[in-house]
Amino acid sequence: MTLKEPSKKYRPFPPVHLPDRQWPGRVLTRAPIWCSVDLRDGNQALPVPMNVSQKLELFQTLAQIGFKEIEVGFPSASNTEFTFNRRLIEEKRVPDDVRLQVLVQAREDLIERTFQSLIGARRVIIHLYNSTSPAQRRVVFGKSKKEIIEVAVHGAQWIRDRLPRLKGAEVMLQYSPESFSATEVEFAKEISEAVMDVWRPTPRNPMILNLPDTVEVAMPNVYADQIEWMCRNIKNRDSVIISLHTHNDRCTGVAATELGLLAGADRVEGTLFGNGERTGNLDIVAVALNLYMHGIDPGLNFADLNSIIEVYERCTGMTIPPRQPYAGELVFTAFSGSHQDAIRKGLNEWKEKIPAQSNGAFWDVPYLTIDPTDIGREYREVIRVNSQSGKGGVAYLLESEFGIELPKDMQREFGPIANDEVDRLGREVTGAELKAMFWREYVERTAPWQLLRFQAESKDGIVKCRAGLSRDGRPVELVGQGNGPLAALVHGFSAIGAPRFEIASYSEHALGSGEEAAAIAYIKIKAASGNERWGAAVDTNIELASVRAVISALNRL
């Protein structure tokens, strides 16, 4: 049961004393170094871990995306992890510019096994960690701060002593005070500097200091303060690459990473789509494309995001939630009528701007932060229609799928008609279903009036028409004259007892191309009473299409 006074059980995380913090006034201008931990953090979070074949496929995909640092796992943890590492190296599957990162605890037997897995590798990162938070020190290890530092130092020494065994390899060393986010910053600094004393990094040969938000225990601004404090206080800052590794317990992993970069971090670890334990790791796709939408090249290629999703889901057995930023099925979809109308108008404006891009035309389409086509999505995915939709979405689907360009005033008439039908169905409808609704309402209206034949001829500027009609099944002959075929038709109807009306609006366009292309005509008529109705009709003869459209409108009056 939720407590009425949670303050009796929980307490806020203490803030970092940093009154002159600088990160709020900074702006990101470049992408960080990226490191994928999909094959470790993402793998260990799966109910059924990936087998070697699946890990090989995902590794290849990560390399193709552009990751230059890929944590391939915990080679001392199992034979599968060890075998995977050896296959990557022995089968020369690692691109020359990609570093293999391996994780290991500060235990000598595990470090030994890890080094065995790396023999023959060209470029590696050896990632040492031990946990440092007060709760971990007290509950898990039962050790003092001094003893926890000794654990880290011994691990660092065991690694340093074995480095000659990786002769010919380019090796970087990485240390993580695990649970950094819940650790006192002064102690995180102390233990990190103790490891630095063993590894002796330099500006030319820096080490990576990874500061993980292992469990989100505070708002992301507090994590940013922790990162800035470390960047400002760690010794030999120019010999250290500060790295972030955020989780999503408070649903702010992306925010914590972005603020951490403002605070001075150089590097980011994360997974595709945020896969990882508990609430997941950082979603690297989201952060990378957030940079992209601000005009910053992220250095990662998501031009075919759909294919990446397919590999990810096949290898991990996980699925992408429909509202996942950038990647979800519905993120470029609008159901709200006002949103649909704004998107449709914005896309049309952008199409007109495309030739002027070199002159400073920037993407600015309502509700779409980036152009879906940049990541392999299509405009037809943008707008779908259900009972919450409006005229804009209806018009967009009819135009984009069938080339039916409804006049704006006609959109206002047909939108509510379609919406009532969709509301009755209680579900999303397809473009084909919308077209069928439009045809039933306008094009297929044959009662009470139906056109059987029509002739018109012009002489001395006067057009005379003769039409064979059916009214409620009874034949009627119509004769009329005017300054055009439609004027003659309207005159003829007044002579056979139809309600008096006039044509208030007219438009038409082709539905396709070629000699056999049909034309569609839209006509609005206005009765003497003031009532207005639209009609529409299709015919290969544009004159007949307009005549049938008048009759369609009359049948709806």
Name all domains of the chain by residue range, CATH numbers in brackets.
33-316 (3.20.20.70), 337-442 (no CATH), 449-556 (3.30.160.270)
Q: At 189, is the secondary structure helix, strand, or coil? A: helix
- Helix axes 79-90 and 108-118, enclosed angle (nearest 10): 30
Residue 390 scores a pLDDT above 80 = no
Separation CA 163–CA 115 (nearest Å)? 8
Q: What is the mean pLDDT of the segment spanning 45-68?
A: 94
Residues in the chain, overall count:
557
Q: Which pair of structure tokens corresponds to residue 238?
A: 């120019």
pLDDT digits (tens, 9 = 90+) for 489-533: 999 999 898 889 999 999 999 987 766 679 999 999 999 999 999
User: Is the CB of residue 230 less than 8 Å from the CB of residue 189?
Assistant: yes
Write the CB contacts of 170 (distance below 8 Å, at least 6 apart in sequence): 99, 122, 123, 124
Band the pLDDT of 357: cuts 50, 70, 90.
Answer: low
Residues of the chain with pLDDT > 90, as a percent, come to 80
Residue 391 scores a pLDDT above 80 = no
Separation CA 473–CA 455 (nearest Å)? 21
- Element of type H or E holding 277: none
Q: Which pair of structure tokens corresponds to residue 118?
A: 């790396």
Residue 347 scores a pLDDT above 80 = yes
Separation CA 308–CA 140 (nearest Å)? 39
Backbone angles phi, psi at 132, to 5 degrees: -130, -10
Separation CA 60–CA 68 (nearest Å)? 12
Out of 206-215, 423-432, 451-460, pick the least confident: 423-432
* Sequence letter at residue 423: D
Q: Please measure the distance between the N-terminal and C-terminal CA atoms of the chain and give it in whole angstroms.
A: 62
Give the per-residue pLDDT at 161. Answer: 97
Beta strands in 230-385, from DSSP E residues, in sequence order = 240-246, 267-270
Give the per-residue pLDDT at 226. Answer: 98
* Sequence letter at residue 250: R
Looking only at the bridges linking them, the beta strands covering 170-178 and 123-131 are parallel
Radius of gyration of the chain (CA): 34
Strand partners, 533: 525
Q: Which pair of structure tokens corresponds to residue 502?
A: 């006039």
Give the per-residue pLDDT at 401. Answer: 87
Q: Please return the burial class of 27, using the count of CB atoms within 10 Å of its CB with bins 0-12, 13-18 and 19+.
A: exposed
Out of 90-94, 96-100, 459-463, 467-471, pick the least confident: 459-463
Give the per-residue pLDDT at 34. Answer: 98
Q: Kindly give the residue spans of alpha helices, DSSP state H, lying in 66-179.
A: 79-90, 108-118, 134-135, 145-162
Give the per-residue pLDDT at 263. Answer: 98
Residue 383 scores a pLDDT above 70 = no
Separation CA 8–CA 185 (nearest Å)? 26
HEC-encoded secondary structure of 421-450: HHHHHCCCECHHHHHHHHHHHHHCCCCCEE
Give the per-residue pLDDT at 548. Answer: 96
Looking up tokens 């010794």 gives 235
Q: What is the mean pLDDT of the segment spanning 385-390?
A: 72
Q: C-alpha distances in angstroms, 272 versus 61, 67, 342, 480?
A: 11, 11, 31, 71
Give the per-residue pLDDT at 50. Answer: 92
Cis peptide before 448 (omega within 30 of 0): yes
Out of 83-97, 146-160, 246-260, 336-350, pick the least confident: 336-350
Give the per-residue pLDDT at 361. Answer: 81
pLDDT digits (tens, 9 = 90+) for 424-444: 888 888 889 999 999 999 999
Q: What is the pTM of this model?
A: 0.80
Give the per-residue pLDDT at 356. Answer: 59
Write the CB contacts of 110 (distance below 8 Å, at least 6 apart in sequence): 76, 104
Residue 53 scores a pLDDT above 80 = yes
Give the per-residue pLDDT at 145. Answer: 96
Band the pLDDT of 380: cuts 50, 70, 90.
Answer: low
Separation CA 196–CA 30 (nearest Å)? 27
Looking up tokens 């530092």 gives 149
Residue 381 scores a pLDDT above 60 = no
CB atoms closer than 10 angstroms to residue 340: 27
Backbone angles phi, psi at 438, to 5 degrees: -65, -45
Give the per-residue pLDDT at 348. Answer: 87
Give the per-residue pLDDT at 177. Answer: 97
pLDDT digits (tens, 9 = 90+) for 295-337: 999 999 999 999 999 999 999 999 999 999 999 988 988 877 7
Give the per-residue pLDDT at 378. Answer: 75
Separation CA 178–CA 210 (nearest Å)? 9
**How many helices, marked H, and strands, marked E, lie in the chain?**
17, 14
pLDDT digits (tens, 9 = 90+) for 268-295: 999 999 999 999 999 999 999 999 999 9
Residue 388 scores a pLDDT above 80 = no
The average confidence (pLDDT) of the chain is 93
Give the per-residue pLDDT at 139. Answer: 94
Write the CB contacts of 342 (distance below 8 Å, at least 6 apart in sequence): 366, 367, 392
Angle, vertex CA 105, rays to CA 101 and CA 110, nearest 5: 90
- Helix axes 542-556 and 485-495, enclosed angle (nearest 10): 40
Band the pLDDT of 358: cuts 50, 70, 90.
Answer: low
Band the pLDDT of 472: cuts 50, 70, 90.
Answer: very high
Among residues 538, 554, 534, which one has the least CA distance to residue 409? Answer: 534
